[in-house]
Chains A and B, each alone.
Chain A
Amino acid sequence: MRLGLDEQGVTELMAAVDHASGLAKLAAGLRLEPEILEGPVRPGLGLLRPVSAEAAGSRVAALFAEIRVWANEQLGIDRVPALWLALGHHPIYLEAVWRREQALMAEGAVTRFQKLCVGFALAANNVSPYMIDYYAAALRRAGMDEHGFLEVLAVVDYFNNLNTLADGMDIESDIKPYLTYD
């Protein structure tokens, strides 16, 4: 589907999809519990032990400082979210995922708000309580209201309806041939 977006726009959309899908699986694997909208359910990092300041090293400390400023602005919490804290055990990976987050979720041909909607939708679609809470906090911060959240979830629900029918009945797409590279 071209969606009236240009090549870069479609690629940006796919980047947000790929990023949000990965994070949902990562948060599930780490057994992280929702921590932002209602505060931490219980202290700790799910599967992993907390990273001690000495063990973390200066590179991780610098990244955590950066993430903390970002979390304050974008999520409204004055701490490093558990997802990023957990990655502190693997500094190169933390830096790569964090830099990717910054690049892929930035305002572009697809707006940051649209990317957050996509992230929230995919968190729901992947049934990731941690990422649902995380993106919902960011969307609240960006002005999303109750009706807006339901609009996003309505699209998730409806397209699960269509996807299930199309796959279940093995229906071939007859829309694609009409979508041209204009």
Chain B
Amino acid sequence: MTTIRLLDDGEFPEPVERHFVEIRKAERERFGIPRISNIWRCMAHWPPYVEATWRKSKAVRAPGRLDALTRECIASAVSVSNVCRY
């Protein structure tokens, strides 16, 4: 059970909904999931949090020296190391 209630579709504040259009598309391509994932539904309670995190997410994944697979390997490794089930 999540500590706070996660927002449902239709409840997202306007500035968040704008970012969620992009995030929904990115998550569909990356994980094949058709809806905004829970972590963003949690952040949506505070729009500046979504904005700052989404901007960072895009910066972290911007084309550079590493390919997408290497980045995902590192992300997965860190999450395993932190014993994060999410």
Instruction: Say yes or no for A71: interface residue by CB 8 A criterion.
Output: no
Picked from B32, B38, B71, the residue with its CB within 8 Å of the CB of A178 is B32
With CB as the reference atom, state the residue of chain B lying closest to A155. B74
Q: How many chain B residues touch A (Cβ–Cβ < 8 Å)?
A: 39
Distance, CA A148 to CA B37, complexed state (A): 29
Instruction: Say yes or no for A66: interface residue by CB 8 A criterion.
Output: no
With CB as the reference atom, state the residue of chain A lying closest to B62. A151
Distance, CA A54 to CA B55, complexed state (A): 59
Q: Decide yes or no: A171 and B86 within 8 Å by CB, A114-B69, A178-B31 being known contacts.
A: yes
Tell whether, in the assembled complex, residue A114 and residue B38 are in contact, meaning their CB atoms are under 8 Å apart: no
Instruction: Say yes or no for B84: interface residue by CB 8 A criterion.
Output: yes
Tell whether, in the assembled complex, residue B76 and residue A171 are in contact, meaning their CB atoms are under 8 Å apart: no
Tell whether, in the assembled complex, residue B78 and residue A173 are in contact, meaning their CB atoms are under 8 Å apart: no
Tell whether, in the assembled complex, residue A110 and residue B73 are in contact, meaning their CB atoms are under 8 Å apart: yes
| Size range of the chain A interface in the assembly | 35 or more
Per-residue A-contact encoding for B40-69, CB less than 8 Å = 1, 0 else: 001100000000010011011000111001
Q: Decide yes or no: A17 and B37 within 8 Å by CB, A155-B71, A169-B2, A171-B86 being known contacts.
A: no
With CB as the reference atom, state the residue of chain B lying closest to A143. B65
Which residues of the other chain, B, contact A3 by a CB distance below 8 angstroms? 69, 72-73, 76
Which residues of the other chain, B, contact A155 by a CB distance below 8 angstroms? 60, 71, 74-75, 78
Tell whether, in the assembled complex, residue B76 and residue A173 are in contact, meaning their CB atoms are under 8 Å apart: no
Q: Decide yes or no: A159 and B73 within 8 Å by CB, A168-B3, A170-B3, A174-B33 being known contacts.
A: no
Those 9 A-B pairs whose CB atoms lie nearest each other, nearest first: A166-B86, A148-B65, A163-B84, A159-B78, A155-B74, A121-B74, A163-B82, A158-B60, A3-B72
7 additional A-B pairs beyond A20-B77, A170-B1, beta carbons within 8 Å, are A3-B73, A17-B77, A122-B77, A122-B81, A151-B64, A157-B60, A179-B32
By a beta-carbon cutoff of 8 Å, the part of chain B in contact with chain A is 1-4, 6, 31-33, 35, 37-39, 42-43, 53, 56-57, 59-60, 64-66, 69-82, 84-86
9 residue pairs from A and B, CB less than 8 Å apart: A114-B69, A117-B73, A125-B77, A125-B81, A154-B59, A165-B39, A166-B85, A171-B6, A175-B37
